A and B are shown apart, each in its own frame.
Chain A
Amino acid sequence: MSAALAGAVLCSLTLEAAGLAHRYGRRRGLDPLSFRVASPGVVALTGPNGSGKSTLLRIVAGLLRPTTGSLSVAFGGESVPAAARRLRVGFASPELAFYDELSAEENLTFAAEARGLPDPGAAAGAALERVGLAARARDLVPELSSGMQQRLRLAFAVLGAPPLLLLDEPGSHLDEEGCATVARVVDEQAEAGLVILATNDERETKLGTQRIELRRRGLGDPA
């Protein structure tokens, strides 16, 4: 698996945020935050509920336009704007949902095709293998348990071996084996790429080599 990863993940990654903040209407979503992280490695993103971990991950993924501040993400030295970034990162979060009328495999194959990956079917199969879902590939999404759907999210994130992996509470709903899978995937990614892992789980926090801690009020500092 590392070989497959190394093939795709050859560029270095840097993320630099300056005064990045987001408001939902008048509610605070993310307090002003500045940081600088680079690959390889694992960044643990911690903080109490409501401190903005999910918000930050969505901003990094390019899904959410922040109300203030700037974020620059450079793949191999070249800055990638939000619109293009969305298609190049691996993203998994609790609200990521799949098409109920399609099977796990069909969902991933669709995603691989749309992203323009060279061999969509194989890419989907490889991703399912990595997370241990190969046996349930043909099952429709509603037939999967919540733990398996979580693995499917992880499979979607690692599809095509992206250089940047954004995982929001990847261990939720997962049993021991599932958590071990997450740890394995994170370790593999950390060899050449970058993982940002938002979590409150002690075990997952320990996977991180760098840390961004969000506090409910005030600024977060890279530790």
Chain B
Amino acid sequence: MIARGLLFVWIAVWMVLGFVWAPVVPVLGDTTRVLYFHIPAAWVTVLALAWSMIQSVLYLAKRRMEHDDHAAAAAELGILFCIVATISGSLWAKAMWGSYWNWDPRETSIFFLLLIYAAYLALRSAVDGEERRARLSAIYSAAAFVAVPFLMFIVPRIYDSLHPSPILPSPREKGSMDPRIRTVFLAMLVGFTALFWWLLSLRTRFARVERRRLDAAAAGA
């Protein structure tokens, strides 16, 4: 209860501070603010995917449904954060470089992650049977795991050289910037991560309770 309230306060406070307290990065102007939620959202996207894939492998090894609950919940949350990251990134691109989508390496990577999430969730919705759904989606997740390093690092470089992109400032430059920016950024990173974990625990708890309810109903019948 208290932790939840604290979390909301934390994120709200730092969001406001990001606007009134931290300065702007000269080259980014007012769009600096997007750093505070676009990059944390992208970070959570990757974190969620990693967690989902790890839980998938654990399910295949241990065959406990809790792992599948985590894999599914992480994917559902991950795609939400991915959409937030994609849209915020796109709006930022429009403000900075005049067009919504450029297929530059970062945009390409996040789009690929979106595809993987979508495919995983679509697969889950198409399989009947709890055990089978868990097993098949875990297998797909493990297979996609192989593709991720290629999609995140190698493919965008290829696209980069196929479509030379404009010289752009790296969004990662915040590290060398004003410490106030760094503070807000890290605080938001922590906040988003905590938000993800909280939502994940809610979702998995719900799944577990639901399963117990159905088991009890079946046993009584």
Residues of A near any B CB (own CB < 8 A) = 23-28, 67
Could you pull out 11 A-B pairs where Cβ atoms are within 8 angstroms? A23-B218, A24-B129, A25-B129, A25-B130, A26-B214, A26-B215, A26-B217, A26-B218, A27-B218, A28-B218, A67-B131
Closest to A23 in B: B218
CB distance from B212 to the nearest CB of A (A): 12
Report how far A24 CA is from B129 CA in the complex, Å.
8
Residues of B within 8 A of A26 (CB): 214-215, 217-218
Residues of A within 8 A of B131 (CB): 67
Report how far A23 CA is from B219 CA in the complex, Å.
11
Residues of B within 8 A of A27 (CB): 218
Report how far A26 CA is from B215 CA in the complex, Å.
7
Interface centre among B129, B131, B215 (most CB of A within 10 A): B131
Closest to B129 in A: A25
- Bin the interface of chain B by size: under 10
Q: A24-B129, A67-B131 are in contact. List 7 more A-B contacts (CB 8 A).
A: A23-B218, A25-B129, A25-B130, A26-B214, A26-B217, A26-B218, A28-B218
CB distance from B200 to the nearest CB of A (A): 25
Residues of B within 8 A of A67 (CB): 131
Report how far A25 CA is from B127 CA in the complex, Å.
12
Residues of B within 8 A of A24 (CB): 129
Closest to A26 in B: B218
Report how far A23 CA is from B215 CA in the complex, Å.
11
Residues of A within 8 A of B217 (CB): 26
Residues of A within 8 A of B130 (CB): 25
Closest to A27 in B: B218
Residues of A within 8 A of B214 (CB): 26
